Structure 1
Amino acid sequence: MNEIRLTDRKRLAIITAAAAQFRANGFEATSMDKIALEAGVSKRTVYNHFPSKEELFTETVVQLFERSASLLELPYRSDAGLREQLTELVRLKMRSLADQDFLDLARVAISEAIHAPERALPIFARLNEREEGVTAWIRAAQADGRLKPGDPAFAATMLQGQIKAFAFWPQVAMGAAPLAPAQQAPVIEAAVSMFLSYFGAEQ
């Protein structure tokens, strides 16, 4: 058991060190040697956990995303209003996108997508698989007859796309500051209203 815990600690140390290195230096300028040095482990240990720098980079981005996405585990409630629930869900989404570590690594990942698409595709494929919290909520609301039937992933993408247009892409592409609460409020209200006007079930 102690050996397992030590292995887990080393893996976490590697991912933490990798995040720092990739954020500071980008993908190309980061080496497994630097990551091993910062993590306080041998290079062999790094390769035992991650066979390549590409796999380590993917896992680092995904881990940071999952840390933020865990905020989105908001279960659907049939006894609460749709607007109330959606407003809270979108507010949580805003918080998850404001994680500076994730934004920094997302910037590196997008840069890689431009220069080496084959390297970045696995990252975005795994992120899409994990962006499930909003989709699950929409699926449950559809099953309850309160949202129109259809592809819940499509509806979730439409909703989250409106949020990302204000609270993700400007920060990643142009270094804009995260939205202050006063700036978030009208974005949340408009996104929820537009979503319900199109996807809300007819009364």
Structure 2
Amino acid sequence: MSTNLSSTRLTDRKRAAIVNAAIEEFIASGFEATSMDRIAARADVSKRTVYNHFPSKEALFAEILHALWNASRVDDAAVYHADQPLHDQLLELVLRKLHALNDENAMALARVAIAAGIHSPERARETVARLSEREEDVTIWIRAAAADKRLDVKDPLFAAQQLHGLVKIFAFWPQVSMGQPPLNKREQKKVATSAVDMFLARYALTR
């Protein structure tokens, strides 16, 4: 039993090393210029080991995008509460999102996805389509508040994207594209509060 467990842990470590190496290579060289040979060398594993885990570079890239999706999600699903103020609920949710955006791994993965999308718009469209298939926490919360007649929202996904835009213009794009430092807690609170105030001023029927 202990031998199997050790083998499993070694396999998991190798897989993680491959994914991390791929992230670094994709960021440094872009998707097209990155090869499985270079990924194997950076991960300090054989090329055969890389292919044992991932049959192609596209499959490895898909794994990274899946990690990006998971990194962008908050730890606990958002729960709408009909008996609590909208402002307090949404502010808490946005602050949790900001905390997730501040994660350096999430930033690195985002740079990979963006760089690959620039070189291959078709791949970018496919990526966005895949990620959009799963409803995100903010969208679910907005849908619930609208169903409860507390938000005047006809398209929850569009409204959620608007809210994300208000946040990411300060807490995502400057960090991903220009290397600016993550927001500190005071800055996060300022951005979150302003975004929530603007969102509710547009959509709230009751607070």
Alignment TM class, shorter chain as reference? 0.7 to 0.9
- The residue number in structure 1 matching 2:56 is 52
State the distance in 2 between where 1:168 and 1:43 align.
34
Return the letter of the residue paired with 2:35: S
- For normalisation by structure 2, the TM-score amounts to 0.82
- The residue number in structure 2 matching 1:163 is 167
Match runs of 1:1-16 below 5 Å: 5=8, 9=12, 11-16=15-20
Return the letter of the residue paired with 2:73: A
How far did 1:97 drift?
Answer: 1.2
Gaps of 5+ in 2: none
Return the letter of the residue paired with 1:108: V
- For normalisation by structure 1, the TM-score amounts to 0.84
Return the letter of the residue paired with 1:15: V
Change (3 A) 1:109 1:164: same
Q: 2:93 aligns with which of 84, 89, 96?
A: 89
Greater Cα shift, 25-34 or 7-16: 7-16
- The residue number in structure 2 matching 1:27 is 31
Return the letter of the residue paired with 1:98: N
| Identity of matched residues, % | 53
State the distance in 2 between where 1:7 and 1:97 align.
30
State the distance in 2 between where 1:131 and 1:97 align.
18
How far did 1:72 drift?
Answer: 5.7
**SS of aligned partner of 2:74:** helix
**SS of aligned partner of 1:160:** helix
**SS of aligned partner of 1:27:** coil
State the distance in 1 between where 2:76 and 2:121 align.
28
Return the letter of the residue paired with 1:145: K
Deviations 1:33-89 (A, max 9, x none): 233345455433433443321331232133133133133622111222110000001
Return the letter of the residue paired with 2:198: M
Q: 1:36 aligns with which of 35, 40, 51?
A: 40
How far did 1:194 drift?
Answer: 1.1
How far did 1:160 drift?
Answer: 0.8
State the distance in 1 between where 2:23 and 2:180 align.
21
Match runs of 1:127-166 below 5 Å: 127-130=131-134, 132-166=136-170
Conserved 8 A contact 1:54-1:119: no
CA RMSD of aligned residues (A): 2.7
Deviations 1:141-167 (A, max 9, x none): 112221124111111111111101111
Return the letter of the residue paired with 2:169: A
- The residue number in structure 1 matching 2:115 is 111
Q: 1:101 aligns with which of 105, 114, 117?
A: 105
Deviations 1:151-190 (A, max 9, x none): 1111111111110111111111211111122222221111
State the distance in 2 between where 1:105 and 1:67 align.
9
Change (3 A) 1:197 1:82: same
Change (3 A) 1:13 1:107: closer
- The residue number in structure 2 matching 1:73 is 77
Gaps of 5+ in 1: none
Change (3 A) 1:71 1:24: farther
